[in-house]
A and B are shown apart, each in its own frame.
Chain A
Amino acid sequence: MSNFFINTLTAWQWLLLLLVPPAVIALYFLKLKRQPLEVPSTYLWHRTIEDLHVNSLWQRLRQSILLLLQLLVIVLVILAVLRPGWRGATLKGSRFIFLIDNSASMTATDVQPTRLDEAKRRVTELIAQMKSGDVAMVVSFSDRAEIKQPFTDSRQKLRRAVANIKPTHRTSDLDEALRVAASLANPGRTSEEGSGDVRWAEAREADLRIFTDGGFGKVSNFAMGNLEPRYVGIGELDARNVGITAFSTQRNPERPEQLQAYARLENFTEKDIKVTATLTIDGERPDTTDVVLPKNEQGGIEFDLGELETGTLRLTIDNKDDLAVDNLAYAAVNLPRQARVLVITPRNDALTLALSTERSLKLADVSTATPKILDSKDHLKRAAAGNYDLIVYDQCVPREMPQANTLFIGRLPPGDAWKAGKPAGLPQVIDTQRTHPLMRFIDMGNVTIAEGQALDSPPGGTTLIDADIGTLCAVAPRDGSEDCVLGFEIVGQSEDGERYRNTNWFLRYSFPLFVHNVLEYLGGARSVAVTGSAKPGKPMTIRSVAPVNRITVADPAGEQRQIDRQGQSGFIYGYTDDLGVYDVREQGKITQRFSVNLFDPVESDIRPRENIQAGHLDIARQSGWRPMRKELWRYLIIAAIILLGLEWYIYNRRVYL
């Protein structure tokens, strides 16, 4: 029964409210000064009211109907203020943080209308239960967290903030959301003791409620502090979904002029499902393939695209499941783009040979120069203007770093950023960073190096080749460009001018592959098969085909944005929230396209997780959602208003029962 009412007023407010009925009664009796009226005789009147006295109680009630109605209105108002209701737990605590997941998986429709709407509804219900003085904040999170409403006790603001949460197509990451919540909930943490102007707020306990389906990884290195987390699982445990988790195009290895599209489908249900995948190119030529996906397994499909130079591919699967966004994937096939490469070398036949393969010539427009060019004004101007995508410095060093990606062979870039140890003989390669695009397919196990230096890359650098003496090759960012440094020469020149080979790398298959990787990655060259794809919400790096300083990107909805060049690496486009194909225009002409796809098996697996892990905590899913209190106060207020109207009518029209 204690749950039946929720007190919403303070003591003195109650006092005021409870004073109203006695006041009404007092006013009524003060008012009820019956008007005296002289009549010829009360004979008939007495006889008239004698009959009424038979049921006098009822008559008395009838006589004071206005008073009764007024009292009834007051009683209804008091009851409404008490907020009667039943079922459902009351909200305990005084500070709440509502984390609402609005990632792609929350658009699933296993809960009608969507999981996000369900989460918003539940949060709204909780907000409605807040007592006066309670504060709460609303944070929405996908792969980034957004504070929709900082701590406030205004229920209206909170409700509005919740209503403003829009679904996204992004992946989810609880980490940032938790950190945001923690920093706001425990403000004392971030302030420094003793510093005068930092407000020191005492950390207070806060009730953290996470409304999500749990489709994200473990959050490590996080301490809840004063937060009391609760995981409110949204979604049905038997939610069904089949999704496209990868979609790309490649050349047919046997017939290089032919293009193939590959897609990976995953079945996230407990039964085998047959799906029909349909591929269209620029909206035409539909191609259909059936594939049976065993339960909890993935399967691949491929399509022959023939000789396709450019186009937009759209892949759909016709499975009626609870998540629609991953039933659709896009890929863009672009014209190849040649990298502008300058190689400055006294003479390096191995490098020159590797750069003149058929494959390399397709990828890049390579020009070669001797180190003498380093001093020419023309070259300095061109290098500073970003006319090259990549400059390879072999056995030479420029005075200033160019506005381009660079590869230094056996030398260090100018400046203090890069450091090297003393040359050491016969360094043994231990490992290569195979996941880096530069080292793809590179095996250094059979490579012998006569002399090399251990490298120390600037902050942010990545070690590519690890040897017993240290790092032999590393790549590091610089003002929007990237510098790759090889800690050993391929061909050296002794002091007396004699050339010698420093390594047998150029005899191995891995060398031309490395050169190819360099052209593709550092040169920004694009073979036809490589299609640009980004994840929703993640920035996309675009390399222009022509050396322009501004490009225009149109999103799938058609909205165009102008992007200015940011450093050598190209253009950074951040508005990738919508799934679909984005057009890139240079000087008014569409030169390339890229696509944004979900492609996240974790996100596509929409079955709600049993628990979420944050730091050392295992937060279990709250079993079931207790339905919201059925609140009566609205009906009570409506009844009170109707009664008030009735009273007004009776008073004015003198219509009595």
Chain B
Amino acid sequence: MPPNGELLPPELLARLERLELVSRKIFRGRMKGERRSRRKGQSVEFADFRNYVQGDDLRFIDWNLYARLDKLFLKLFLEEEDLHFYTLIDASASMDFGDPNKLFYARQLAAALGFVGLCRADRVKIETLGTTHRRPGPILRGRHSVWRMIEYLNTVRAGENVSLAEGVKNFCVRNTGKGILVLVTDLMDKSGYETAFRFLVAQEMDVYVVHLLSQEEMDPDVKGDLRLIDCEDADVAEITVSRPLLDRYRRTLAAFINGAREFCTRRGMTYIPANNQIPIERLVTNYLRQRGLVR
């Protein structure tokens, strides 16, 4: 599937540069990043004092205070750390629909968020559900990696027939670290999304589920007697389109969305409904901002 255009247009880049990824949880980054950690650590920014206890690093004792007060105090500094930012893209065949293409939209979103992360020196990792441990996605860090990221995204093709649960499980096994996970998927998995989400809950990541639907799925424009063929498993559903049927479909879709939202909310995940008609810029700068993923 050729990309429906540029993943990151320059004007979008300009707006994204001003954003940063936010995590609601405290993570321990492996490397120092640009981000002030809530943990105290080694940096130039002073945070607090505390009494010395045996075993503390002598280097952080404030000798000036010792001289004045004859007591040992330890200087605490704010830690600066990096953030692990994961984007998990559902590249199943069902994503290869819509205009713009849902997968393209997902890639665009991944690129935009990844760009935000890279700009802030976060650790960005983009994978698809079908990524195996043999060919893991690249780990990116720093602005210079933007082009690697885009190159990688351009290689993402639809048609990975991996169930949502299996893909998420594989991801969790491979990526044990904590961080932010943005899962972009249409949730169109016949075995359901619940198992997959439970894996994510166990991961204790800051999980954002972007539920991406195409306009055709939200409001089907179909007529007549149809034989609907599932593009993933060639499953067939015969329908005769009628107004009550369409109404019922919309109710089913709404129930599906509500069910997913409720499932996510109860488990501390953020559910973000999206459709391919929302410009990516608005999604990132408005919707995700409101949800607290970026700021």
Contact = CB atoms under 8 A, between A and B. Distances in A.
Contact of B222 (A37, A43, A46, A52): A37
Given A654-B241, A655-B243, A44 B226 contact: no
Contact of B95 (A34, A39, A40): A40
A44 B253 CA distance: 7
Given A49-B237, A62-B242, A44 B248 contact: no
B236 A42 contact: yes
A70 to B, nearest CB: 15
A546 to B, nearest CB: 93
Contacts of B244: 656-657
A51 interface: yes
B167 to A, nearest CB: 16
A290 B241 CA distance: 86
B252 A44 contact: yes
Interface string B248-261: 11001100100000
Interface string B217-248: 10000111111111110011111111111001
A33 to B, nearest CB: 8
A12 interface: no
A32 interface: yes
A548 to B, nearest CB: 89
B213 to A, nearest CB: 9
A63 interface: yes
A47 interface: yes
A527 B217 CA distance: 111
Interface in B83-113: 93-98, 102
B226 A35 contact: yes
Given A40-B186, A41-B232, A47 B224 contact: no
Nearest to A34: B227
Contact of B249 (A48, A63, A655): A48
A197 interface: no
B214 interface: yes
B34 interface: no
B188 interface: yes
B168 to A, nearest CB: 17
A39 B248 contact: no
B45 interface: no
B190 interface: yes
A34 B217 CA distance: 20
A38 interface: yes
A40 B222 contact: no
A38 B222 CA distance: 11
A63 B245 CA distance: 10
A283 interface: no
Contacts of B97: 39-40
Interface in A23-73: 32, 34-49, 51-52, 62-63
B189 interface: yes
A281 B27 CA distance: 130
A40 B241 CA distance: 17
A38 B231 contact: yes
Given A34-B225, A656-B244, A44 B231 contact: no
Given A654-B241, A655-B243, A656-B242, A39 B256 contact: no
Contacts of A654: 223-224, 241-242
B7 to A, nearest CB: 22
Given A43-B190, A44-B252, A37 B243 contact: no
Contacts of B95: 40
A45 B239 contact: yes
A656 B230 contact: no
A39 B230 contact: yes
A62 B239 CA distance: 11
A47 B222 contact: no
A48 B231 contact: no
A559 to B, nearest CB: 69
Interface in A626-655: 654-655
A51 B229 contact: no
Given A35-B224, A35-B226, A43-B189, A48 B235 contact: no
B228 A52 contact: no
User: Which of B225, B243, B244: most chain A Cβ within 10 A?
Assistant: B225
Contacts of A38: 228-229, 231
A32 B231 CA distance: 23
B225 A44 contact: no
B242 A657 contact: yes
A46 B248 CA distance: 11
Contacts of B237: 42, 45-46, 49
Given A43-B189, A45-B237, A52 B225 contact: no
Nearest to B244: A656
A34 B214 contact: no
A46 to B, nearest CB: 6
A36 B222 CA distance: 11
A36 B217 contact: no
A56 to B, nearest CB: 12
A144 B125 CA distance: 115
B248 A48 contact: yes
Nearest to A654: B223
B231 A40 contact: yes
A39 B249 contact: no
Contact of A48 (B94, B98, B229, B245): B245
A44 B228 contact: no
Contacts of B98: 40
Contacts of A42: 228-230, 235-237
A34 B94 contact: no
Contacts of A656: 240-245
Interface string A62-90: 11000000000000000000000000000
A41 B94 contact: yes
A36 B237 CA distance: 10
Interface string A418-454: 0000000000000000000000000000000000000
A40 B214 contact: yes
User: Which of A38, A45, A49: most chain B Cβ within 10 A?
Assistant: A45
Contacts of B223: 654
A514 B238 CA distance: 112
Contacts of B249: 44-45, 48
A580 to B, nearest CB: 72
Nearest to B223: A654
Contacts of B216: 39-40
A40 B236 CA distance: 12
A227 to B, nearest CB: 64
Given A42-B237, A45-B239, A49-B239, A37 B248 contact: no
A439 B232 CA distance: 123
Nearest to A64: B240
A43 B225 contact: no
A34 B96 CA distance: 24
Given A39-B230, A45-B237, A52 B248 contact: yes
B228 A39 contact: yes
Given A654-B241, A655-B243, A47 B226 contact: no
Contacts of A63: 225, 240
Nearest to B247: A48
A43 B188 contact: yes
Contacts of A36: 226-227, 229
A52 B244 CA distance: 10
Nearest to A32: B225
Interface in A240-298: none
Contacts of B253: 44
B227 A40 contact: no
Nearest 3 CB-CB pairs, A to B? A656-B242, A41-B188, A40-B94
15 contacts: A34-B226, A36-B227, A37-B228, A38-B229, A39-B97, A40-B97, A40-B217, A41-B186, A41-B232, A42-B237, A43-B230, A46-B235, A48-B245, A51-B252, A657-B242
Given A40-B186, A40-B188, A654-B224, 12 more contacts: A35-B225, A37-B229, A39-B229, A40-B93, A42-B237, A43-B190, A44-B188, A44-B217, A45-B237, A49-B239, A63-B225, A656-B241
